[in-house]
Amino acid sequence: MRRILGIESSCDETAAALVAADRRILAQRIASQDEEHRPYGGVVPEIAARAHAERLAPLIEATLADAGMTLDDVDAIAATAGPGLIGGVMVGLVSAKALAMATGKPLYAINHLEGHALSPRLADAGLEFPYALLLVSGGHCQILRVDGVGRYRRFATTIDDALGEAFDKTAKILGLGYPGGPQVERLAREGDPKAVPLPRPLVGSGEPHFSFAGLKSAVLRAKESGKYADADIAASFQQAAVDCVVDRLRIALEKMDEGMAGDKDGVTALVVAGGVAANSAIRAALEGVAEQFDLPFTAPPMALCTDNAAMIAWAGLERFEPGHSDPLDISARPRWPLDPEAETVRGAGVKA
Ligand code: KG4
Ligand code: ZN
């Protein structure tokens, strides 16, 4: 039975996991850096890189020990090679290279987004290509059609902030802690989603892209006006976010179907991944969209939705092919789009 050690360090989680080809997660450890970044209300790249460097080696050792294994029992080493905060990515990739060199095992340099895109297949052996994926976290906001391993078509991206980032910024404006998503969701339960008039950026546009910067500014103006209760602002913001996601996803799913015309069948499922998948209002709305398109809706368990190393090990297993591993001089990539053919979106910033 093939086994791969996965390493993830592209944002603020230091993670290692050992995954077997039959989809068993033999061991996994995640060290979150929330405490380190909390005073700043967001991830500070230098602090993240240093924390990864301090924690990764003992974390890998502990993960192997949890599984009662050593590197001799591992068939390959897979590490995130981008996109992400470059300092952290380099820490993980260099460690993986060192282990690969020391043991002679093959190295797989994994695109972090590919890890997210394939993680639903780790959770669900029955999930067939192609499927539609909404990837929404603090760093990513994309709609993809996953056609196969290494075959991704991006239908939408954000022209400014990611959805999780919008939740985090709203939390900051309302004086809630970091990470903000769960706190905004909690406060929203006590508020009226219709109380504050907020924009739905790009809703109605024929292209399924996202934009959240205008929504964030409107939240700031609502707070500064002093006219609204915080719970009403949170609830109205969350409703606006839900409305944007639903509208953008509908457009994307329609386009996906058009693109599959001819002898190919359409997508087999709607899948959500990324930290924002924890939001119950968003999940409920996605279930509605899936039903409308007659698709099953699935989300990997939360531990696989947020950044983790099991998804990186799994991507390595999906990619594993003798003689096709990556060279030890492969570079870390701060930007690495899954679909290099995707059109550049006007106004799109640094997000992959
Ligand atoms: O996937 P993740 O752990 O890390 C990356 O950003 O890659 O996602 C974290 C993001 C944060 O922005 C956090 O605020 C958001 O997911 N999030 C939520 C909820 N739980 C986490 N957003 C809305 N509602 C939630 N319940
Ligand atoms: Zn991620």
pLDDT tens profile 217-235? 999 999 999 999 999 999 9
CA distances to 34, 35, 95, 116, 118 from 307, rounded to whole Å, are: 13, 17, 18, 8, 13
**Segment 316-329, tens digit of pLDDT:** 999 999 889 999 99
Whole-angstrom distance, CA of residue 94 vs CA of residue 79: 9
- State in Å: Cα 307 to ligand 2 middle: 5
- State in Å: Cα 329 to ligand 1 middle: 33
Ligand 1 pocket test, pick from 306, 311, 312, 351 with the greatest ligand atom count within 8 Å of Cβ, gives 306
Instruction: List Cβ neighbours of 54 (8 Å cut-off, separation of 6 or more).
Output: none
* Average predicted confidence (pLDDT) for the chain: 94
CATH number at 129-299: 3.30.420.40
Fold adopted by 3-117+304-351:
Nucleotidyltransferase; domain 5 (3.30.420)
Q: How confident is the model at residue 3 (pLDDT cuts 50, 70, 90)?
A: very high
Whole-angstrom distance, CA of residue 167 vs CA of residue 238: 8
Is the pLDDT reported for residue 346 higher than 70?
no
> Residues 108, 325: contact at Cβ < 8 Å?
yes
Q: CATH 3.30.420.40 region(s) of the chain?
A: 3-117+304-351, 129-299
Is the pLDDT reported for residue 331 higher than 80?
yes
Judged by its nearest atom, the ligand closest to the C-alpha of residue 282 is: 1
DSSP string, 150-192: TEEEEEE-BSS--HHHHHHHHHHHTT--SS-HHHHHHHHTTS-
Report the first-to-last Cα separation within the chain, whole angstroms. 34
Is the pLDDT reported for residue 35 higher than 60?
yes
Q: What is the mean pLDDT of residues 181-189?
A: 97
- State in Å: Cα 11 to ligand 2 middle: 7
Q: Is 279 in the pocket of ligand 1 (CB under 6 A)?
A: yes
Helices (H), the chain: 34-37, 45-66, 86-103, 112-123, 163-173, 181-188, 213-225, 230-259, 280-292, 302-305, 310-319
Residue 263 is predicted with a pLDDT of: 56
Q: How confident is the model at residue 262 (pLDDT cuts 50, 70, 90)?
A: low
Residue 342 is predicted with a pLDDT of: 87
- State in Å: Cα 294 to ligand 2 middle: 28
The amino acid present at 3, given as its one-letter code, is R
Q: Please give the DSSP secondary-structure letter assigned to residue 275.
A: G
**Segment 98-147, tens digit of pLDDT:** 999 999 999 999 999 999 999 999 999 999 999 999 999 988 999 999 99
Residue 41 is predicted with a pLDDT of: 75
Is the pLDDT reported for residue 349 higher than 60?
no
> Residues 14, 314: contact at Cβ < 8 Å?
no
CA distances to 23, 223, 311 from 20, rounded to whole Å, are: 6, 50, 12
Judged by its nearest atom, the ligand closest to the C-alpha of residue 273 is: 1
Whole-angstrom distance, CA of residue 161 vs CA of residue 20: 36
The greatest distance separating any two alpha carbons of the chain, rounded to the nearest whole angstrom, comes to 64
Q: Is 87 in the pocket of ligand 1 (CB under 6 A)?
A: no
Is the pLDDT reported for residue 214 higher than 60?
yes
